[in-house]
Structures are given as C-alpha cells and as structure tokens.
Amino acid sequence: MKLNPPRRQKLRVHELAREFGWTSRQLLDELRRRGEFVKSAANTLEAPVVRAIRRDFAAVGGPSDLETAVTRELYGRSAEPHAADESGDSFAAALARAKSKSVPKKAKSRTPQWRSAILQAILDEVIVPRRPEHLDKPHGTYFSWELKQAEEMNAQWAAARLNGLGCDDSEVIGWIRLSGGERPQLAVDLFQGGVSPEEAQLRLGYGGRIDPRRPTLYQRLRDGHMSRSEIIAAVREWHRNNSAG
C-alpha cells in the first residue's frame, strides 16, 4: 500500500520570524531587501524563500526545512513519546547505553583560511559594517552570504587592476575605503589621471581651496557633479596653493 506524502507546508512571515527570535518587521525588511514582495506578517512564504532565509541565517538557529519533515503517523509506533525497544527499555535508557559505549572523537583543529589583503579589507571595512543590527553573531567570523558578496566585489576590483588600476594593495584598499567597494572603474579613471585616494577625498571649493561644506571630489564625480578633468584640475590647483603657501 502506498502512503501519500504530506502536502508541502508553507510558513507565514511571523512564524518564520519567531524561529530566529526576530520581530515580523525585521523579517519583512530582510525579505524586501531580497526583492520579495510581502505585505504583512500574515502572508505565507514559498518553500524556496524559507530555505534561502534558513540557509543564510543558520547561525541564529531554527528547525530544519519543513519540506523534509515527516509526520509522526508515517513513522508508526516508533514515533510515540513512550515507545520502547524490544528489551523493554525506554528509548531514553537505550540512548544512554549507546552514548556510554561510544568513543568520543578528537576535535579537529581548524586552520584559519588564508585571504588576500584586498578580500580581507572588503570583508572588514565594507561588508561587515553593512550587517543588519538585529542579527546574532555568525558561528564563524562571517555569514556565508557575506563571504559570497565579498568574493564578488573582490573579483570586480581584480578586473579593475587588470584594466588600469596599476597600484599596490595598500592604495587599492584606500580606493575601496573611499568608494565603499563600489564602482571600481571610477578609481581607475582617477588613478590614470594621477589622482590618489587621499586627493580624491579632498573637499575643495573655488580656487582649489579647502571647503568642509563641500562633498569630496570622489563623491562629486560619482554623482555627476564634476568631470574627471575638472577633478584633476582642482587637485593641481590645490597643490599649487600649498606649494605657494
């Protein structure tokens, strides 16, 4: 006789939030950040969405996927709370016997994973500061999704170095700090114009003079308020003012 498997179960937003100890609002914010259109805590979530949330935030706990859960009726008598084995012992007693016979395994020492200076800077100075405040700490140093984002960003900066960002690691890290890791091509354009990260973060006004009220030169290039050639000219004028003073 074939047993019909239980229908796939869905979770409501507030039920999944409760697994992680979050508020419904915190989970709704995370879902919207992922591009999921969810109106309220009473909405149900599809199984792939639930799996993705549990996978990425496994560090904060939560039961296994409901799709893999099997109802007690399909297990039969072995799933009953007070089921006994053939010797008449309780399950708890049988489990205690098995544990007493098992030989403890030696804990494996983990070798810290090597990361390049650029990747490490992206993780510590770009990715981690963006971590949502309501999350608990991961089991390791980083969440898996943080490592994935950092790897993708690192690949973009590696491509930028091949396309003209011909400086050493310390200067590349300076550009990453200044830009928040975004749009490395802007760093390429400024570097090829002879502008350093320190110069790109100057706040200059008329005549190449320091003006703290102004955005940085990098921000003005990024936002389209200054061109590359205008920034190069402003930096040169700033140097002339300093040498004359």
Q: Which two tokens stand for residue 152?
A: 């993708």
Q: What domains, with CATH codes, occur in the chain?
A: 8-72 (1.10.10.2480)
How high is the mean pLDDT in each 10-residue block of the chain (245 residues)? 54 84 83 80 84 73 42 46 48 61 54 83 93 84 92 95 92 95 95 96 92 96 96 95 77
Query: Which residues 6+ apart lie within 8 Å of 199 measured at CB?
Result: 217, 235, 238
Q: Is the pTM of this model over 0.85?
A: no
